[in-house]
Structure 1
């Protein structure tokens, strides 16, 4: 049998809640202030002591926090289902199909997970004083609130679920992103502002690529094998990354190949200009913010002035001094720091592979640049692929024999042939224009070969007669 005190004690929280809820300003005036304060305090002690708060900061030590990033993506799907938020932040890039809506600062989103009610709230934490000359940036945080009884289930089940669901949403997204670094020389990078991006819409595919079928198949097979070997990389103790060196003259399709690779894998692309990097720490900071399932492209790697290890300039007052080093790049690519990212493709491009011997061979060894991909001048096989793509022309033509002979000597790039094809949709007219173009290329190439020796010989003497004699001898030889 319950005593009166036990009954009153059991009903006290509910009685307190009811009193506090129904109290109006008029009623409050009729009871002592001390009693009103006690009832309000009892209400808050009972209900708010049952809640647990988890603060999830936007940035960790080096990059965006994974839970914060996942929550941002996850909550975009929950906004419409939650009755709470009344204000949103909406934005839309020109090439996006529909706007992206995020919760505004101070707003809440209610979620339910296994009968657990969870409340997400976006807040900002001031980290500096307004009188500071350079106050640290404010911190954005997600405040996650729930009944403290479910703390273990929220931490061990709900948060991993949010991360997994966010990854699924990312894989389901339509369209890739193209990133460019915001770094400028002699400027520190605010955390979270390392990159700017736009929607990447490039029609390049392997089917449309002017490349030998064997090389094309080899690259596709290598990419497909890479993305399915997560456990293999873990087993052998290597970072889940793969490197490609793409080389060839300008206009041979290096950028188009990169776009085709990105489309094939559905990877975002990060174009990286290392010449704007001031230090190894800045290089590391930028590379650590690159997301998984992405391609990191270093264009014209031969122009980076990396030199060889041990040969970096030591004169800090020299104008050409580079604070970043080859060792810093190698450590970021496949050293201990490389384990911070996975399922990434690293691409080096160069127009002059013969100049790569000026760089350290360690930069291109297997394990860093696993596959070397040559991009050549247009051959007859590549020409027929271009004719099929641009002109829908798949038959042999009476001009093909002449074109094949001209291609063997003219050194025309696929881009040059494509430009001639793009001027008309008439196949006969286009092929005739190509023949004329290749003839001019052949004449120009022959002229450059005959003029160069003469210019070299004539520069050795100021005597006109001797100079002309030297030119004749050079041409005859």
Structure 2
């Protein structure tokens, strides 16, 4: 021990003597000679670079954060790690603590990372700043590999890790610009829980994966790294849920573009220029959300002064030079009537893949039963298979029935009754002459056709190539007063007119056909709300319906009562989520109270007993507040639990 202390003392004396007698310049030269003959090569990666953030520093932080925990568990070399989490990420993020190091292996070559931080204080202006940096060391012979391969690998992996961990955001338009801060999209739908027929789901997932991994291929062939999808099919077949599953699978943000809120082509260009990369642009109900002016008919501007987005403007925005200003983007269009979309929009490059989401089949039902009830077979399946093949029922309607009970037999019996009632309602329609239900037949044939998944149409072959019109009611329609709508919506329209009067009388659209179409859209929303319970509809679906209602109000439909009801239902859905959270918090509090009581019994000293008793009293107060909040929430929800979502509207 004495000899060790003597060596240390001698070393300290030599070092101080060396620093005292040799100027700083000579010392620096001496150390540079030592570094010149050192076998190691070191890169210093500072937090800032030339006055701005250092991209490589941020990449190193994310990359090393994914390695430190496993490295610490493996060899125990790291004793201290940093950990953090905020609302914009899904999982905890780890990092190196100050003055710690980690070794990463790349192609069998050890890469030594060290993290440093230092506090700099300026006594003149009393300013304190912290400097942070990484040092990357390896053998000199690998310096070229670090520059050309390892650092690009770190940056690429950091991007993938960051994209995988961040929360998906949902963006909407306000005053012709995107909201400054999107909301977290917490939709639980994934492709694992999405019910689809046959191999369609697998093909779609493979197509998405091929796109996301195709950066170099798109660059090689000279195409913009984007892809377009058209989702078409009857209402309630899962188009909104499909979009949520896409966003969760790719971890892409959603930008919901409401064309009726855009006043001009230049505003549309501005919005699309500010859509971020790594995102999905959604344009719902492209066939009826907005009246796109014909480029060749200059007299239509005066007729629709409030609707100024043109078809040419939309085409140029999604497939012109403007589309080159961004990468890794997906555009999704939705419609209930594919045959009403202008062929110029349908061609490859704009809508590359056409996906039909049709009525529920027996295969779809089995997937829903597995998801909702956890069963793959049942004695009642044969009866359901017989009925479901003969009627038109949406997956949303079937899912709504499966949510009514957790007992599989009760649930399936209720579903059979529902399907039989649908079958009895559909029986009169089967006696109609062939061709009466033209629109629905076309739609079903389009879904069954092999060509429904891909379409490549040349621009300009159709005489209607510059105009998108409002829906045209099919020949299965009936008249209520002056208006003509689908037969299934006539009871709803009659009730609306009786209760609220002529809601379309003050519309800015004068054509009876257009007014009938607007009424059909409004009645369709009411029909959807009639068909589901509060637990069977998501907030994302409600927001989509609310957007449609706002579009209708923009053309002076008097449906503020429907707008108000949708706001109430959205609030109720949020209350359901809040109630669930409160119940969980209450359960945890009760557990903690029991634990504290057990610990209280172990303490005999009076101060400790008083402290534990006080803690228990505080937790009881919090639990009581949770109980009161739960009771209040349940009271507000009782209205929708006991009634239809449209109760009192008609």
What is the deviation of 1:454? 11
Q: Structure 1: any 5+ residue segments left out of the alignment? A: 1-10, 14-51, 57-66, 81-89, 100-105, 116-155, 460-477
- What residue in structure 2 maps to residue 229 of structure 1? 214
CA displacement, residues 378-410 of structure 1 (integer Å, 9 cap, x when unaligned): 11111111111111111242x333322321333
Is 1:346 equivalent to 2:331 in the alignment? yes
Is 1:375 equivalent to 2:366 in the alignment? no
Is 1:366 equivalent to 2:351 in the alignment? no
Alpha-carbon distance in structure 1 between the residues aligned to 2:295 and 2:200: 36
- What residue in structure 2 maps to residue 410 of structure 1? 391
Counterparts of 1:140-159 in structure 2 under 5 Å? none
8 Å contact kept, 2:238–2:395:
yes
Alpha-carbon distance in structure 1 between the residues aligned to 2:60 and 2:270: 27
- What residue in structure 2 maps to residue 302 of structure 1? 287
Alpha-carbon distance in structure 2 between the residues aligned to 1:428 and 1:263: 33
Where 2:227 maps in the other structure, the secondary structure is strand
| Change in 2 beyond 3 A, CA 1:306/1:222 | farther
| Change in 2 beyond 3 A, CA 1:167/1:313 | farther
| Change in 2 beyond 3 A, CA 1:171/1:182 | same
- What residue in structure 2 maps to residue 133 of structure 1? none
Alpha-carbon distance in structure 2 between the residues aligned to 1:369 and 1:262: 18
Count of aligned positions: 341
Instruction: Indicate which of 357, 373, 382 corresponds to 1:401.
Output: 382
Is 1:391 equivalent to 2:373 in the alignment? yes
Higher helix share: 2
CA displacement, residues 81-123 of structure 1 (integer Å, 9 cap, x when unaligned): xxxxxxxxx9954996679xxxxxx9775445679xxxxxxxx
Is 1:273 equivalent to 2:264 in the alignment? no
| Change in 2 beyond 3 A, CA 1:213/1:453 | closer
8 Å contact kept, 1:208–1:389:
yes
What is the deviation of 1:295? 1.4
8 Å contact kept, 1:248–1:376:
yes
8 Å contact kept, 1:206–1:260:
yes
| Change in 2 beyond 3 A, CA 1:409/1:213 | closer
What is the deviation of 1:309? 4.9
CA displacement, residues 135-168 of structure 1 (integer Å, 9 cap, x when unaligned): xxxxxxxxxxxxxxxxxxxxx99x9999768635
Where 1:207 maps in the other structure, the secondary structure is coil
| Change in 2 beyond 3 A, CA 1:390/1:113 | same
8 Å contact kept, 2:360–2:394:
yes
- Give the structure, 1 or 2, with the largest relative contact order (CA under 8 Å, sep 6 or more): 1
- What residue in structure 1 maps to residue 534 of structure 2? none
Instruction: Indicate which of 171, 180, 185 corresponds to 2:171.
Output: 180
| Change in 2 beyond 3 A, CA 1:443/1:165 | closer
Counterparts of 1:329-340 in structure 2 under 5 Å? 329-340=314-325
Where 1:301 maps in the other structure, the secondary structure is coil
What is the root-mean-square deviation in Å for CA atoms of aligned residues? 4.4
Where 2:181 maps in the other structure, the secondary structure is strand
Q: TM-score w.r.t. structure 1 length? A: 0.59
Alpha-carbon distance in structure 2 between the residues aligned to 1:53 and 1:265: 32
Alpha-carbon distance in structure 1 between the residues aligned to 2:57 and 2:314: 31
Alpha-carbon distance in structure 2 between the residues aligned to 1:309 and 1:293: 32
What is the deviation of 1:447? 5.2
- What residue in structure 2 maps to residue 4 of structure 1? none
Counterparts of 1:44-443 in structure 2 under 5 Å? 54=50, 93=87, 110-111=132-133, 167-173=159-165, 175-184=166-175, 189=177, 194-307=179-292, 309-311=294-296, 314=299, 317-356=302-341, 359=342, 361-397=343-379, 399-443=380-424
8 Å contact kept, 1:410–1:439:
no
What is the deviation of 1:201? 2.3
8 Å contact kept, 1:248–1:374:
yes
Alpha-carbon distance in structure 2 between the residues aligned to 1:396 and 1:436: 16
8 Å contact kept, 2:284–2:333:
yes
What is the deviation of 1:424? 0.8
CA displacement, residues 20-78 of structure 1 (integer Å, 9 cap, x when unaligned): xxxxxxxxxxxxxxxxxxxxxxxxxxxxxxxx99566xxxxxxxxxx79x699769979
Alpha-carbon distance in structure 2 between the residues aligned to 1:231 and 1:379: 40
Alpha-carbon distance in structure 2 between the residues aligned to 1:218 and 1:77: 33
Where 2:169 maps in the other structure, the secondary structure is strand
| Change in 2 beyond 3 A, CA 1:350/1:224 | same
After alignment, is 386-395 or 270-279 more displaced? Answer: 270-279
